[in-house]
Chains A and B, each alone.
Chain A
Amino acid sequence: MSVKAENINESTKWQDLTEGLKIHEPATSKLFLTGEWRTETPVWIREKCRQCLLCVPYCPDSCIAVKDDRRQDFDYDHCKGCGICAKVCPFGAIEMEQPKE
């Protein structure tokens, strides 16, 4: 009963689901693209960013990766567009882009 999450989808029969829908592997949230929920989109303005990294711990969805002590661009597959990063940025380096009409 430890079928891989990547092999479970909306065509899976009830007989093939895990018992109690238990998940038998780590980090399956990567497969779940919550970025589809987003309406407003944060945009990183690199020239204004001072790499203070304050946005990183504030992101509730771990969508700002850090490499060699520097933040990378947003993980738009999982960013829900909550806007907290833009709110906490002391340098105006993150702007929320409104959805297109």
Chain B
Amino acid sequence: MSTKTRMSGNEAVAHAIKQINPDVMPAFPITPSTEIPQFVATMIANGEIDTEFIPVESEHSAMSAAMGASAAGARAITATSSCGMALMWEVLYVAASSRLPIVMALVNRGLTGPLNINAEHSDSMGARDSGWIQIYAENNQEVYDNFLQAHRIAEHKDVHLPVMICQDGFITSHAVQNITLWDDGPIKRFVGEYEPEHYLLKEDESLAVGPYAVSPYCMEAKKAQAEAMKRARKVILDVAKEFEELTGQHYGFFEEYQLEDAEYAVVAIGSVCGTAKDAVDAMRAKGVKAGLLKIRVFRPFPGEEIGEALKHCKAIAIMDRSESYSSQGGPLGAEVTAALYRAKATAETVNIMYGLSGRDVKVEDMEQVYESLRKLAAGEEHFAEYPYLGLRDGTENVLSRQ
């Protein structure tokens, strides 16, 4: 029930869309996600799917049209990157608070500036508080599999929240990798038809979506929305389990690689985890107990589970591909550190900035990270500030580039 082939991450998402055949896709092109609407438009022109593609004049309109379509009762998707999602910003929050199960293919690219088109997580990390579920991928197989699970999560009656399926710009969106595609029949049955209970175009339905809410109601509405995000935890795991029964692919909140007995752990999101795994293998070959925790689900944030999985470690590096300019580190650093505190972990931690604006990260770089953790735990290294991996700073710092 599967085909082994090779394709880019954008092609993989487009193939998932082809199998899902959503009702409506409003989208506006932006590098590096442009190929996704381009592939979809081609599939529509070839008569392979009957999705209504709306060529909008901006991303603000793309998300607004997706909202309108979803409220009307359609299964609506879109795709974007970086500044494109920034232009959706206002509507992202409205889509979530209106509880519309829109699915977005987000190809992560840094927000300008400086002007740059490469992989960074500043776009989705900036939207981390918008109320969208966020699921990240290490490689093309994962972004394909995640996209196939997205509608099941978003449309579940206990959730009714929008989902963004994220992958790293160019690194996975454009790089061709081996991939296993699941056959149409079982996948179509797995995804199922969208059958909302209430929608604007339903016969005899009187419905208003997104009304003005005066202060005495907003806090209660936000609490209800926050509870839906909590309920998404179970749904995400249930859908992953069903997907595993169908395909054999295992997914959870995060992946643990050699973590069980690890003394030195890296926490990261996205494509860098493939590089980190090679570094783990290299460190293990040298007798260093290195491990990796790769976060797949960032919203809802599985803080308790992450704390439990890491609290036995001696030193932990939390890797952020997004500057928050807080002077304290990045968003993943803040949230994982808080989770470790709640788990009463005693590990040394360092929050490392890496790969900003598409800066390459090599296996040797990640080996240096593990080396810095070993030194940190041994008291031989001290980070007064959160370091940048591979930064040209003229110092002898273990993480700097000479």
CA distance A1 to B224 in the complex (A): 12
Residue contact B198 to A22, C-beta cutoff 8 Å:
yes
B219 surroundings in chain A (CB, below 8 A): 14
Whether a CB of chain B sits under 8 angstroms from the CB of A67 is: no
Q: Do A17 and B217 contact each other (CB < 8 Å), given the known contacts A2-B198, A22-B198, A24-B198?
A: yes
CA distance A25 to B219 in the complex (A): 23
Shortest B221–chain A CB gap in Å is: 5
Whether a CB of chain B sits under 8 angstroms from the CB of A31 is: no
CA distance A22 to B71 in the complex (A): 10
Q: Do A19 and B224 contact each other (CB < 8 Å), given the known contacts A2-B198, A10-B216, A24-B206?
A: yes
Residue contact B224 to A17, C-beta cutoff 8 Å:
yes
B217 surroundings in chain A (CB, below 8 A): 10, 12, 17, 21
Whether a CB of chain B sits under 8 angstroms from the CB of A26 is: yes
Per-residue contact bits, chain B 210-251, to A (CB 8 Å; 1 contact, 0 not)? 110100110111011101000000000000000000000000
Shortest A93–chain B CB gap in Å is: 33
B60 surroundings in chain A (CB, below 8 A): none
Whether a CB of chain B sits under 8 angstroms from the CB of A56 is: no
Whether a CB of chain B sits under 8 angstroms from the CB of A30 is: no
Q: Do A14 and B221 contact each other (CB < 8 Å), given the known contacts A19-B99, A20-B209?
A: yes
Instruction: Identify the closest chain B residue to A26 (Cβ).
Output: B206
Whether a CB of chain B sits under 8 angstroms from the CB of A48 is: no
Q: Do A13 and B160 contact each other (CB < 8 Å), given the known contacts A22-B208, A24-B198, A26-B206?
A: no
Whether a CB of chain A sits under 8 angstroms from the CB of B368 is: no
Residue contact A20 to B207, C-beta cutoff 8 Å:
no
Shortest A26–chain B CB gap in Å is: 4
Residue contact B220 to A14, C-beta cutoff 8 Å:
yes
Whether a CB of chain A sits under 8 angstroms from the CB of B97 is: yes
Residue contact B208 to A19, C-beta cutoff 8 Å:
no
B interface residues, tally (CB under 8 Å): 24
B19 surroundings in chain A (CB, below 8 A): none
CA distance A14 to B221 in the complex (A): 6
CA distance A10 to B213 in the complex (A): 12
Shortest B219–chain A CB gap in Å is: 8
Whether a CB of chain B sits under 8 angstroms from the CB of A23 is: yes
CA distance A25 to B198 in the complex (A): 12
Contact partner of B206 (CB less than 8 A), chosen from A17, A19, A25, is A25
CA distance A19 to B198 in the complex (A): 11
Residue contact B98 to A20, C-beta cutoff 8 Å:
yes
CA distance A53 to B4 in the complex (A): 73
B208 surroundings in chain A (CB, below 8 A): 22-23, 28
CA distance A17 to B228 in the complex (A): 13
Residue contact A24 to B220, C-beta cutoff 8 Å:
no
CA distance A18 to B352 in the complex (A): 43
Which B residues between 132 and 164 are near A, CB-CB below 8 angstroms?
160
A1, A17, A19, A24, most chain B CB atoms within 10 A: A19
Task: Identify the B interface with A (CB < 8 A).
Answer: 97-100, 160, 197-198, 205-211, 213, 216-217, 219-221, 223-225, 227
Query: What are 21 A-B pairs with beta-carbon distances under 8 A?
Result: A1-B198, A10-B217, A12-B217, A12-B220, A14-B220, A14-B221, A14-B224, A14-B227, A17-B221, A19-B224, A20-B97, A20-B98, A20-B209, A21-B211, A21-B213, A22-B207, A22-B208, A23-B211, A24-B198, A26-B206, A28-B208
What 3 A-B pairs are tightest by C-beta distance, nearest first?
A20-B99, A14-B220, A23-B208
Task: Identify the A interface with B (CB < 8 A).
Answer: 1-2, 10, 12-15, 17, 19-26, 28
